[in-house]
Structures are given as C-alpha cells and as structure tokens.
Amino acid sequence: MPNRASSVGLGQKLSAEIVGTFFVTLTSASVDTLYYTGDQVDFVSRWLTRGFVTAVLIYALSEISGAHLNPVVSLAFAVRKAMQWPLAGLYCAGQVAGGFAAGILLKLVWHDQAVLGASHPGAHWSHLTAAGAEALLTFLVVGVILATADPDAAVGKQAALAVGFAIAACGFFGGPISGASMNPARSLTTQLLFGSYDIMWIYVVGPVAGALAAAFAVFPLLGPPDKGERKAATGK
C-alpha cells in the first residue's frame, strides 16, 4: 500500500488549505454571531472553540499542506525561506477562496445577522489600537507556529496544541479590543461580503506587521530554516 504522505501533490495541498480555512472561518464567524446574538455561547466558549478547531485541523492537515490556514502564516514561512514564494502565493489564494466559501454559507444561513460574525474592533477601542492589538496577537501566534514547526523535534504534532492554546489565549485578552482575528482570510472575506469596508485595513496591516515581525524576531533563536522546518511548512 503506497504511503499517503509521499504522494501528496500540489492540488492536494491547496485543497487542504481551502478546506481548512473554510472551517476556520465558518467556525470563528459562527461562534461570534452566536455570541453577539446571545444564543448560548459565552465568552470562554467563544475563544476555546477557535483554539480547538485550529488544533484539530492542524492534526488533520499538517502532513498534507503544513496546515497554514492563514495567509500571514504562509507569508512568515516564505520570509524565512522555509517555502518558496510562488507556493506561498498559491496557499494564500486557496485560503482566501476557503474564507469566501465560508462567508457565503454564513450569509445563506444567518442572513443579515451574519454581519456580527465579521471581525470588528471593540466598542470602546480606536481603529489604530485595534490594528496594534492584531499586530501583537499575530506576532505571538506566528512566533509559536515558527518555533514549533519541526516534525522531527520532540514536540512533533503536539505543535497543534501549542498553536490552539495560543489562539485561545489571544482571544481571552485581545478579543475585546480587536476581535482577535489574526487571519486576513477569516476577516476580509466576511467583511467584504457584509460591507464592513472601513475596518478592513485593520485586519491586513495588523496581522501582516505582526507576522513579519515574528519571522525576523525568531531568527536569532532558531537560525535559518532547517530540513525539519521546511517539511513542516509544506507538508510531505
């Protein structure tokens, strides 16, 4: 019987990114909608759900595509030269496609209420503060991803737990400020569909700045990417 991991092609990798980002966006936007409508989702459940679904998808998809599920993760790996820029661009396109598909489904199910699932700053926080929060939160999450991206290290697939916990923790302390998106594919697609054009820049500038800062900041700690990190970045 052939080894599944050794026969993974580009189409499978992109499909994994599309499907994974679809479920990240669908789950995140759904729990936000339920939270703001007061429909049996509390503050803790809201953020644990995001962390759990991310961890599950990393476990399921990491050997296929690396399970980025987020354009700024692909950007960070490309900046570190752990993956080639053309492949990173294709990953980003797939992630955006997955986000749009989830947004369309949300609109069909929730109708006008689905706008509550689009990322937005907290009521008492400025747009600039929200962008700064997105940068800081993304720095933490991407830093954790890069630091645990080595399938041959002792952490192995347990990196999924580290990333999931980091996302949940960021939601607990940063969610009230910016919505703790840290993922342009999750935010921009829903914002475009629901007309939240004035805040879209927050969820591009913040996450991109945070991811770039993380990619450069980990270099003194990790050095250049090794074979293990390259394998973790692109699957097998």
- Secondary structure (DSSP) of 26-79: HHHHHHHHHHHTTSS--HHHHHHHHHHHHHHHHHHHHHHH----SHHHHHHHHH
pLDDT tens across 63-74, in order? 899 999 999 999
* 212 pLDDT above the threshold of 90: yes
- Closest to 142 in 3D by CA, of 163, 161, 168: 163
The pLDDT value recorded for residue 228 is 84
Six-digit token pair at 178? Answer: 């910016």
- Check: CB of residue 94 under 8 Å from CB of residue 18: yes
The pLDDT value recorded for residue 4 is 52
pLDDT tens across 69-88, in order? 999 999 999 999 999 999 99
CA-to-CA distance for 73 and 142, rounded, in angstroms? Answer: 6
Q: How confident is the model at residue 1 (pLDDT cuts 50, 70, 90)?
A: very low
CA-to-CA distance for 109 and 105, rounded, in angstroms? Answer: 6
CA-to-CA distance for 226 and 68, rounded, in angstroms? Answer: 18
Q: If you search the block for the tokens 């697609």, which residue do you land on?
A: 189
The pLDDT value recorded for residue 155 is 44
The pLDDT value recorded for residue 227 is 86
- Closest to 187 in 3D by CA, of 178, 200, 173: 200
CA-to-CA distance for 211 and 114, rounded, in angstroms? Answer: 28
More confident residue, 37 or 4: 37
Domains of the chain: 9-234 (1.20.1080.10)
